[in-house]
Amino acid sequence: MNMKFNQIIIIFAWAVFLFASCSREITLQNGLSIRNSQVIKKSIYQLNGKDSIHQPVIVIEGEDIVVDFQGTTLQGSNDKPITSPDQFYGLGILVKGKNITIKNLIVKGFKVALMAVETEGLILTHCDFSYNYRPRLFSNQEREDVSDWMSYHLNEKDEWLRYGAGIYLKNCNKTQISNCTITNGQNGLMMTNCNHGLFYNNNFSFNSGIGIGMYRSSSNRIIYNKLDWNVRGYSHEVYQRGQDSAGILVYEQSNKNIFAYNSVTHSGDGFFLWAGQTTMDTGQGGCNDNLLYGNDFSHAPTNGVEVTFSRNQIINNRIEECNHGIWGGYSYETLMLGNTFKNNQKSIAIEHGQKNEIAYNLFENEALGIHLWSRKEQPKDWGYAQNRDVRSIDYQILDNHFKSVNLPFQILGSQNVIIKNNLIENTVEMIKKDSTNTNLVFEMNDATVLFGQNEEKWKKYAPTFNDSLLKSVKFINAMLSPTQLRGRKYIMMTEYGAYNFQYPILWLRNQDSTGKLFFEVLGQDGTWKVKKFKGLEKISAVSGKLPNGFTAELPKSNISKIDIEVEIEYIGNQVVSPFGVITPKGKPYLFTFKKYFLPIQWQVKFFDYSPTINLAENPQALANILKSKPLKEEVKDRLEYKWWRSIGENLPSDYFVTVAEGELEVEDSMYEIGVTADDGVRVYVDDKLLINKWELRDMQYDESQHYTTKINLNGKHKIRIEHFEKTGFATLMVSVNKL
């Protein structure tokens, strides 16, 4: 009896010990390493990251670990007077190992919130990695600044990390991420060399770069995610560039992935697929056999779907109000089936495609339906063209419905194209073609076609997307709510990304020919009233309920100079500020609209110089160059140059110098002078050198360079800009803003 009793006591004590060990909560501290299952004491931990992105605050490492953070917040970048998210630094959490589960975690204020390396079977669920690093954008409503462009073309050495991320995965197979949020950063989820993952029910929206990015990653399933408003480089009806932002980015040999039932609207590209540099150089490989099914890729500034140099399936998607519905340059054996295209400039545009099939799609209210073409020659030093057939050849375009499309078909320089049995209604012109086409079949394409006479045909041809997972997991409806404002007019770019409807904003919608300004007040339900304003007159309303608006005029006394400031008080629902600060429901929230433009009469001169002169290493050589006769002189009220080729007719595109001089008169205040330049630039105010970047641009990446300086000014001042360009793309853009 005693032995049995003792055994029972020992077992009971061991059980109590195990229960206590498992239930004991631990606190976070810098340098903590978690190597077994833990429960974290819920709190807000302000722990600063390191200057190096490879030195984390917390490490989670091991096998078969579950870490429940219970809603804990890990907040970085606390030790500096940080006023904007482009100053966030460091890595929050590093994960390594196998079968690690992390749940109920909030991380913000870092360059990268969570990074996992060489981890198999990672599970992240109910985590929030919002409000981490995102750079300031220098484009505005009036003009694009090319320094905002990005390049994701290379990630062999983790080059993507320079942009930060909510989650960064490297060499992580069988990852599962669900019910996580990443918003108001630059990049959401970025992965390289990650296969067989599952990503569902996530919200990676309102980032200024990428929602989900994949590099050398295959056989993943991305389904039922919200990936809206991942965008930059857009001003409604002014410019539509995208600047390589995208809801979904798929690069460099990423194959056999499934993208289904995601909402990917209002992003630079909805879906952006590029085969990769390997394919460009050799003609081999690609991003092949990916399936895009049942997604909404609408309202992209550039392309709803871009798929190039690859073979894929695009089925049953909604693609509306994009520049191009599908851009498919050099795509081959690609199926475009059962999609809905509405209100795009061009629905499908493909240069040098081969063996593509376009069937059972609806095209409505389009300027141009399907555009196929080829160029006469390919670059002789381009590996892809030298190793592949790049003719525009072998198309089947069957059983589509064109409704109110101005021009359904434009076919140029193409061979073996069959266009048959399409229903075309209310068109201006059926088809444009030229003599370079061969074997173009165009028949039975009119209103007499009994379109859809075999409605089940295409469903059998491409059955509804089915996955065993659909039966075992409860998915969200990722599509935009019917009450959500949608359309490209609601891509409203601020200094740090797209407006996200979580806070009130005063938006200058447009200015008519008489100079009248039209403002919108947008946000959650509530009331607004103007507290104070300057630089406007004849305001039509100073209070109201959201959404609302008013008109105003610029003072007639100084219409060329703009110095507007409006402060508004909002009372209504909870407000989440652009940087994540919460104002409770019913509490007043103040927000401000500012717009400043100072016209400067710039005297601009251009000079050429010899390629033998290295201006970057010999800045004094400029004095001799400026003694020569200018190639060109002009007067400008703003410096906003972007030279893709020459600086003018019969003038050079390389090896030139720009000198711009002007005079400004301002009231006493602090001012920020900004300049985007490629290559070298110097900025002087009253002969004082304020910006000195007299150097060749770093060609490691594609971005141009932007530089700023702050200075107190009052009265009249002289400003001088010196700039030189060696080779390639050139730009010189200057701004003066009052702080």
Side-chain half-sphere exposure of 91, counting CA atoms within 13 A: 21
Q: Give me the DSSP letters along 632-700.
A: EEEEESS-EEEESS-SSTT--SSSEEEEEEEEEEEEEEEEEEEEEEESEEEEEETTEEEEEE-SPPPTT
Domain containing 508 equals: 501-596
Beta bridge partners of 715: 666
Residue whose entry in the numeric block shows the structure tokens 């069957």:
398
More confident residue, 142 or 447: 142
Whole-number Å distance between alpha carbons of 359 and 458 = 8
pLDDT, one tens digit per residue, over 588-598 is 999 999 999 99
Residue 462 within any structural domain of the chain: no
Distance of alpha carbon 103 from the chain centroid: 27
> How would residue 328 be classed by pLDDT, with cut points 50, 70 and 90?
very high
pLDDT, one tens digit per residue, over 607-627 is 999 999 999 888 788 999 999
Q: Does the structure show a pLDDT above 60 at 574?
A: yes
What pLDDT score does 98 carry?
Answer: 97
Beta bridge partners of 319: 341
Distance of alpha carbon 676 from the chain centroid: 20
The SS3 call for residue 625 is: helix
Phi, psi at 181, each rounded to 5°: -125, 135
Side-chain half-sphere exposure of 643, counting CA atoms within 13 A: 27
Phi, psi at 147, each rounded to 5°: -70, -15
Whole-number Å distance between alpha carbons of 10 and 500 = 58
Q: 301 preceded by cis ω (within 30°)?
A: no
What pLDDT score does 15 carry?
Answer: 46
What pLDDT score does 83 carry?
Answer: 79
CATH label of the domain that carries residue 726: 2.60.120.260
Sign of CA dihedral 192, 195, 197, 199: positive
Do residue 103 and residue 60 come from a single domain? yes
What pLDDT score does 16 carry?
Answer: 43
| Region of 119 on the Ramachandran plot (φ > 0 left; ψ -120 to 50 alpha; else beta) | beta
Do residue 520 and residue 553 come from a single domain? yes
Do residue 643 and residue 517 come from a single domain? no
Residue 122 within any structural domain of the chain: yes
Q: Does the structure show a pLDDT above 50 at 707?
A: yes
Average pLDDT, the chain: 92
Containing 93, the helix (H) or strand (E) segment is strand 91-108
Residue 625 within any structural domain of the chain: yes
Token digits of residue 553: 């005029």
Q: Which of 214-228, 397-411, 551-565, 618-632 has the lowest mean pLDDT?
A: 551-565
Do residue 641 and residue 723 come from a single domain? yes
Number of domains in the chain: 3
Among residues 76, 101, 133, the one where a domain terminates is: 133
pLDDT, one tens digit per residue, over 95-123 is 999 999 999 999 999 999 999 999 999 99
| C-alpha dihedral (460, 461, 462, 468), degrees to nearest 10 | 50
Q: Does the structure show a pLDDT above 50 at 345?
A: yes
Residue whose entry in the numeric block shows the structure tokens 């409806």:
477
What pLDDT score does 469 carry?
Answer: 73
Among residues 566, 596, 626, the one where a domain terminates is: 596
Phi, psi at 190, each rounded to 5°: -125, 135
Among residues 596, 614, 639, the one where a domain terminates is: 596
pLDDT above 70: percentage of residues in the chain: 94
What pLDDT score does 204 carry?
Answer: 98
Whole-number Å distance between alpha carbons of 332 and 353 = 5
Do residue 79 and residue 123 come from a single domain? yes
Q: Does the structure show a pLDDT above 60 at 463?
A: no
What pLDDT score does 12 carry?
Answer: 52
What pLDDT score does 33 carry?
Answer: 97
Residue 690 within any structural domain of the chain: yes
Q: Are strands 543-545 and 407-411 parallel, antiparallel or unpaired?
A: unpaired
Whole-number Å distance between alpha carbons of 698 and 707 = 14
What pLDDT score does 354 carry?
Answer: 97
Average pLDDT over residues 649-658: 91
Q: Does the structure show a pLDDT above 90 at 523?
A: yes
Rg (CA), the chain: 29
Do residue 560 and residue 663 come from a single domain? no
Residue whose entry in the numeric block shows the structure tokens 């290379």:
154
Do residue 631 and residue 578 come from a single domain? no
Q: Are strands 505-511 and 516-522 parallel, antiparallel or unpaired?
A: antiparallel
pLDDT, one tens digit per residue, over 151-169 is 999 999 999 999 999 999 9
Containing 83, the helix (H) or strand (E) segment is none
Q: Any residues with CB less than 8 A from the CB of 19 and at least 6 apart, and which?
A: none
More confident residue, 615 or 457: 615
What pLDDT score does 21 carry?
Answer: 46
User: Cβ(374)–Cβ(392) under 8 Å?
Assistant: yes
Q: Helices in 365-465 by DSSP H: which ranges?
A: 383-387, 456-461
Token digits of residue 64: 């078969």
Average pLDDT over residues 657-661: 96
Residue 369 within any structural domain of the chain: no
The SS3 call for residue 502 is: coil
Token digits of residue 280: 């460009």
